[in-house]
Amino acid sequence: MSEVDLSIDLAGLHLNNPIIAASGTFGYGEEFERFAELRRIGGICVKGTSARPMDGNLPPRLFPTASGMLNSIGLENVGVDAFIRDKMPFLRNAGCAVFVNVFGFNQDEYAEVIDKLNACDGIAAYELNISCPNTKHGGMVFGQSPQLTQELTKMLKVRSRRPVIVKLSPNVADITELARGAEDGGADALTVANTFLGMAIDTDTFRPRIHTIIGGLSGPAIRPITLRMVYQCSRAVKIPIIGLGGITKTEDAVEYFLAGATAVQVGTANFYNPQAPLNILRGLDKFLKAKRLKSVSDLVGKMKQ
């Protein structure tokens, strides 16, 4: 059979393939350079970037669970100025699409980050983090209100020189309301979804396993839930969806495509296998050939009922 087409069109962008390294799990790309060929990944979504540097939460900030991980990093990052100065020179030459995850504690901070990034070359799109469960203010507030999601998205879309992707929170009663809010605000695509609120307690010390008590649960344990959310959102909006949550192997990614995702992000798997995105990509090529399919688009939304 002839070679399959792994490329995709997403929010006005043409990517070599649909496998993206998720924000917060792949650093700024340079940390993974010696482990994986970055140019072969569809894209890298860098750590959440704020107007000013953030130290994040106090340790302990990570705890492994039976089928995943709790984290409460608290959006530690170098700030937008240092990101542009120190991180973008490497990322421009990484050979894959660069998505910048943008975070703020209020609308003005989001706008400040977007305005500065607009003047920086080499960025493919912005991913708006309105859904982080590990900070006391900001993103989570926007991410729980369809109206605020729409207002923030609209304001930033007007300012943006690049496609705007909105990363939704799963910690809501009906995620499709947030999806519609983002779409109505002009979002070019959605990322579904961020981590789930969770906690763990040390039964020897009686203390919480992470300093903030409650953190974000990721990994294989959440995959059936986020898969359901991707399916629901794909039926609720017309804009493309990037699915993520517990993807560790090719079949996991294929499930998301069948549920309606145009692309996927690989997150927690990067911590124990830096080549996870590339392994999934190689498996996807083999899967499509085995199924005698010509492209990734032949999978998207093709779940049978």
Task: Give the pLDDT of the chain (305 residues) as one tens digit per residue.
Answer: 469 999 999 999 999 999 999 999 999 999 999 999 999 999 999 999 999 999 999 999 999 999 999 999 999 999 999 999 999 999 999 999 999 999 998 899 999 999 999 999 999 999 999 976 555 554 556 788 999 999 999 999 999 999 999 999 999 999 999 999 999 999 999 999 999 999 999 999 999 999 999 999 999 999 999 999 999 999 999 999 999 999 999 999 999 999 999 999 999 999 999 999 999 999 999 999 999 999 999 999 999 99
Residue 63 in any domain: the answer is no
Report the residue count for the chain: 305
Query: Does residue 272 sit within a domain?
Result: yes
Q: What is the dihedral sign for C-alpha 236, 257, 175, 11?
A: negative
Q: Whole-prediction pTM value?
A: 0.96
CATH of the domain at 163: 3.20.20.70
**Among residues 45, 96, 120, 132, which one is catalytic?**
132
C-alpha distances in angstroms, 8 versus 14, 110, 250, 254?
Answer: 6, 28, 17, 14
- How many whole angstroms separate alpha carbon 62 and alpha carbon 212? 11
Q: How far, in Å, CA of 83 to CA of 105, rounded?
A: 18
Strand partners, 5: 295
**Does a structural domain hold residue 1?**
no
Question: What SS3 state is found at 250?
Answer: helix
Residue 153 lies in a domain: yes
Token digits for 237?
Answer: 């909006």
65 within domain boundaries: no
Domain membership flag for residue 208? no
Asked whether residue 246 is domain-assigned, the answer is yes
Domain count, the chain: 1
Residue 132 annotated to the active site: yes
Range of the domain at 232: 8-56+73-199+218-298
Residue 98 to residue 263: CA distance in whole angstroms = 14
User: Is 210 among the domain residues?
Assistant: no
